[in-house]
Amino acid sequence: MNFFSNLTSATPYLSAEQVLTNILLAFVLGFIIAVLYRITSHHKATNPTFMLTLAILAMVVALVMMVIGNSVARAFSLVGALSIIRFRTAVKDTRDIAYVFFALAAGMAAGIGNYRIALYGVGLIIFLLVLLDFIRFGSAPRGVYLLRFQLIPTDTDDESFKTILSRLLVSHRQLAVRTVRMGQYVEHSFLVRLKRGVTERTLISQLSAIEGMERVVLLAEEGQEEA
């Protein structure tokens, strides 16, 4: 009988100060997580709405945890109520998903009143994320680009661009060759590394000057050059 009574036990009493403290702590943690997301994004375009969502999410989850309390029945009721919601916004970056879970965990820790986990846990994760960002963990080596261009097929088209690639690049590795526009053009894709002193504009301008060259695209991790 004690087991079933525990399943349906009422929410533990929380004073007004505890409720305010939990929600304010969740807001502070969510805000810090949103700022961290912005700082570690560097030159990537960030969505202000997503940053606001992180702060809101932490507060809402903290409130939900206070509402649920120790009641398993209330938790299942909440899952059933939330199942009617359909989220149609596609998350393009898996990094964004990680930050959503980060805000969720911070809100949960603040909501149950476990301030030690909330402060120490979030603080340690933030420190490690800043460290990984500082050492540029997982980033592509500097000077490595994806080069893609379209060229009218001729008997000498390979020699026309290979001379330029050999002169301006430290290395180049062909990834793919395919025909586009009903066979009117041949699209070449290379993974390239620029020589010291050679700029992206220099490579693009010299390739664009080749007769029959239609389009040159140079893609880097943090930007794009195109002609």
- Domain match, 16 and 105 both: yes
- Domain match, 12 and 87 both: yes
CA distance 143 to 121: 36
- Domain match, 18 and 127 both: yes
pLDDT at 227: 44
Closest CA relative to residue 227, chosen from 169, 164, 151, 217: 217
Final residue of a structural domain among 83, 99, 134: 134
| DSSP SS3 for 8 | coil
- Domain match, 148 and 130 both: no
Report the run of H or E that residue 192 belongs to, with start and end: strand 185-194
Residue 139 counted as domain residue: no
Strand partners, 149: 188, 216
DSSP state of 44: S
Q: Tens place of pLDDT for every residue, the chain, 227 residues? A: 454 444 444 556 678 888 999 999 999 999 999 999 998 887 566 778 888 999 999 999 898 888 887 666 666 666 665 565 555 566 667 888 899 899 989 998 998 888 999 999 999 999 999 998 888 776 655 667 888 888 887 765 567 788 888 888 888 888 888 888 777 888 888 888 888 888 888 888 888 888 888 888 888 755 444 44
CA distance 116 to 122: 10
- What does pTM read for this prediction? 0.62
> Taking the CA of residue 93 as centre, how many other CA atoms within 13 Å lie in the half-sphere pointing to its CB?
12
Q: Please give the tally of structural domains in the chain.
A: 2
Range of the domain at 42: 2-134
CA distance 166 to 171: 8
Is 186 in contact with 150 (CB distance < 8 Å)? Answer: yes
Residue 210 counted as domain residue: yes
| DSSP SS3 for 48 | helix
Residue 121 counted as domain residue: yes
Is 100 in contact with 54 (CB distance < 8 Å)? Answer: yes
Paired tokens of 172: 């180049």
- Domain match, 164 and 128 both: no
